[in-house]
A and B are shown apart, each in its own frame.
Chain A
Amino acid sequence: MNPIPPTGMIIPTEPGRHFRAGKFDFWSFFFSGLTGLATLLILAILAVLLGNIIINGWPNLSWHFVSTIPRKDFFDPATTGVLPMIIGTTIRVFVMTIFVLPIGVITAIYLTEYAPTDSMLTRIIRAAVNNLAGVPSIVFGLFGLGFFINFIGRNLDEFLQNPGPVWGQPAVLWASLTLAVMTLPVVIVATEESLKAIPLGLREASLALGATKLETICKVVLPQALPGIMTGGILAVSRAAGEVAPILFTGVAYYMASLPSKLSDQFMDLGYHVFVLSTQSPDIERTRPILYATVLVLLLLTFALNFVAILIRARVRKKLRALG
């Protein structure tokens, strides 16, 4: 029997006895399990979604499908194809990139290299960028209609004295510009991330050699940041390729007999085509296979781009870790 010391402390008989697993903490186990289940459920949703599309779409995917220009009846599996949609999507995304990359990179350069850290203006600019990221895509569509088409387009037509509306109506240019405004935050964030990752020492070394700030940025900082900028561009492209709402009123067409040849033309689009096939098919069972194939093409496009962007980002992170 152990003596009980005057302080009233009880000394255990075997040291370590109280460490052995005794009570089972039910609630901890339960809630841990619940949250784990939530995670699993989300992963399951992703798996089912992708799996369903791949399983149903893959057998219907063919080189013929991807390279045919369909006739007006989209719903006939024998003659349909998605070539003009792929081309339309590609063109609008390409034009968008031409606009969004310069503006996004320059803005990010300003925010990282020039902006005074605690000024009100800097905070407003950042708030504006964050807000742009949260604007609903349909509002961008309205913006494209109200600003680019009705305001700039119409005035441009008047200025050029066009007999009929050429620019004052839906067109590839306006859809691309609308998408550029929409994906601007993506490019800005990615570029800022890559600029911030470049150690200060490099900039100091350049400045100490008598280079100006702009020279330092152009000759030392930007070349280092290039992979990050590319990542941003690719992410923007991948996001824009899948968006339909912003192009509904700004340039997409249900059917076009020929491919878009100038910036004022309308265009067909993969995502919009999925929408059309899903909701306007006279016989959904017959359309099912081509619908799945179209969705698969769209997914492959967006995922391939996303994948490339993630790869570049991972490689850059590894390289910079070696530097720093």
Chain B
Amino acid sequence: MPENALPKLEVKTALAAASGNAAPLIEIKKLSLFYGQAQALKNISLSIRERVVTAFIGPSGCGKSTLLRCLNRMNDLIDGVRIEGSVRIGQHDIYAPDVDVIELRKRVGMVFQKSNPFPKSIYDNVAYGLRIQGVKNKSDLDAAVEQSLRGAALWDEVKDRLHTSALGLSGGQQQRLCIARAIAVKPEIVLMDEPASALDPIATARVEDLILELKRDFTIVIVTHNMQQATRISDDTAFFYMGELIEAGPTQKIFTNPRQKRTEDYVTGRFG
């Protein structure tokens, strides 16, 4: 594994892992987001622990995807967006003026709702992130591609056709390819925006199994509208409604004994 090619985020990581007590990796403090005059996120404060799966749940339009996209500053791509408050990853406020967004996105990966493999070969898709970071050595690339595809539980299915077009894969395979592509650059955090919503139940199950395995090495934040999915795979859950964070905590607690009435209404299916 080409350790030296990808310097890691510092510190609390090792300590926390060793102590078994996952410390907060992402600290969101009083975050508000405005599209022009309209406010989409209202004063959100939330801690996301390291090496666990955190789920964002809530009805459509509640802002969970918007918040997710704040974590890797993909919202910067939209005209007229304004942020107040702070988002800290490790020690660093990612919205500070001297932050290099490109570097940030190499540390915080993203998997989208609709799988979007490049119209290139499977190999080139996975290697893309590494190549733009300057990794050129073929054996390094080969090793990294194999490791990522194994990590995404896709290696056995595609190892004989690495250089064929990625578009020839099925929907579920394409999404796992996108996951492989995202983890190939070894980000600390992987954001997933409803990754299985476009997939059939079998493919969904495979992606969920994958997520449970990935959390050993990565911190995962997943947006989902499927509550059963949240209970199956997440350790922590945050419930959002109309741009506000209503309640957050360990998944078990949110679903069996929520403190807020609105949370209880949502998780019991009274609305959503």
Residue ranges of A at the interface with B (Cβ–Cβ < 8 Å): 116-117, 199, 201-202, 204-212, 215, 219-220, 224, 322-323
Chain B window 112-135, contacts with chain A (Cβ cutoff 8 Å), 1 for yes, 0 for no: 101011110000000011001100
Contacts of B129 in A (CB 8 A): 209-211
A residues in contact with B182, CB < 8 Å? 208-209
Q: B105 an interface residue at 8 Å Cβ cutoff?
A: yes
Instruction: Verify B79–A116 contact, CB threshold 8 A.
Output: yes
Enumerate chain B residues within 8 angstroms of A322, measured Cβ to Cβ.
Answer: 167
With A117-B79, A202-B118, A220-B118 as known contacts, state yes or no: A208 contacts B74, CB within 8 Å.
yes
B3 lies within 8 A of chain A by Cβ: no
Q: How far is the CA of A110 from the CA of B129 in the complex (A)?
A: 25
Are A210 and B103 CB-contacts (below 8 A) given A204-B74, A205-B178, A323-B167?
yes
Give a binary string over B170-193; 1 marks a CB under 8 Å from any A CB, 0 the rest. Answer: 000000001001100100000000
Cross-chain contact A210 with B102 (CB below 8 angstroms): yes
Contact A224 B119 (CB under 8 A): yes
Contact of B133 among A116, A208, A210, A224 (CB under 8 A): A210
Query: Separation in Å of the B5 CB from the closest CB of chain A?
Result: 13
Q: Which residue of B lies closest to A211 (CB)?
A: B132
A222, chain B: closest CB distance, angstroms? 12
B79 touching A205 by the CB < 8 A rule?
no
Residue A207 contacts which of B105, B114, B117 (CB distance < 8 angstroms)?
A: B105
> Which residues of chain B have C-beta atoms less than 8 A from A116's C-beta?
79
Q: Is the interface of A mostly helix, strand, loop or mixed?
A: helix
B51 within 8 A of A: no
Q: Measured between alpha carbons, how far is A116 from B80 in the docked complex, in Å?
A: 11
Q: How many residues of B contact A (CB 8 A)?
A: 26
Residues of chain B contacted by A199 (CB below 8 angstroms):
116
Q: Using Cβ atoms and an 8 Å threshold, which residues of chain B touch A212?
A: 102
- A-B pairs under 8 A by CB, number: 62
Distance in Å from the Cβ of B100 to the closest Cβ of chain A? Answer: 10
Given contacts A219-B132, A224-B119, contact A209 B185 (CB under 8 A): yes
CA distance A220 to B103 in the complex (A): 19
- B109 part of interface (Cβ distance < 8 Å): yes
**Contact indicator A207/B74 (Cβ below 8 Å):** yes
Q: If the complex has contacts A116-B79, A204-B74, A206-B128, are A211 and B112 also in contact, measured as CB distance less than 8 A?
A: no
- Roughly how many angstroms separate A212 CA and B104 CA in the complex, as a whole number? 11
Question: How far is the CB of B158 from the nearest CB of chain A, in Å?
Answer: 18
Would you call B49 an interface residue if the criterion is a C-beta within 8 Å of the partner chain's C-beta atoms? no
Whether B132 pairs with A208 at a CB distance below 8 angstroms is: no
**Contact status B118-A205, CB under 8 Å:** yes
B32 on interface, CB distance cutoff 8 Å: no
A209 to B101, CA, bound (A): 11
Q: Which among B104, B109, B116, B185 is the interface contact of A202 at CB below 8 angstroms?
A: B116
Q: State the CA gap A3–B149 with chains docked (Å).
A: 80
Which residue in chain B gives the minimum CB-CB distance to A117? B79
Given contacts A117-B79, A202-B116, 16 further A-B contacts (CB under 8 A): A201-B114, A201-B116, A204-B77, A205-B178, A206-B128, A208-B74, A208-B109, A208-B110, A209-B105, A209-B109, A209-B128, A209-B181, A210-B129, A210-B133, A224-B119, A322-B167
Chain B residues, CB < 8 A from A210: 102-106, 129, 132-133, 185
Q: How far is the CA of A322 from the CA of B168 in the complex (A)?
A: 11
Bound: A207/B102 CA distance, A: 8
Q: Check A209 against B77 for contact (C-beta < 8 Å).
A: no
Alpha-carbon separation in the docked complex, A224 to B167 (Å): 13
1/0 contact string of B61-80 vs chain A (CB within 8 Å): 00000000000101001010
Closest CB-CB distance, B150 to chain A, in whole Å? 19
Could you tell me if A208 and B72 are in contact, using CB atoms closer than 8 angstroms? yes
CB distance B112 to A204 under 8 Å? Answer: yes
Residue of A nearest to B118 (CB): A220
- A206–B105 Cα distance when bound, in Å, is 10
Q: Kindly provide the distance from the CB of B187 to the nearest chain A CB, expressed in whole angstroms.
A: 9
A-side contacts of B72, CB under 8 Å: 208
- Of all chain A residues, the one with the shortest Cβ separation from B191 is A208
30 A-B pairs (CB sep. < 8 Å):
A116-B79, A201-B114, A201-B116, A202-B119, A204-B77, A204-B116, A205-B112, A205-B117, A205-B118, A205-B178, A206-B118, A206-B128, A207-B77, A207-B105, A208-B72, A208-B74, A208-B109, A208-B112, A209-B105, A209-B109, A209-B129, A209-B132, A209-B182, A209-B185, A210-B104, A210-B133, A210-B185, A211-B129, A215-B132, A224-B119
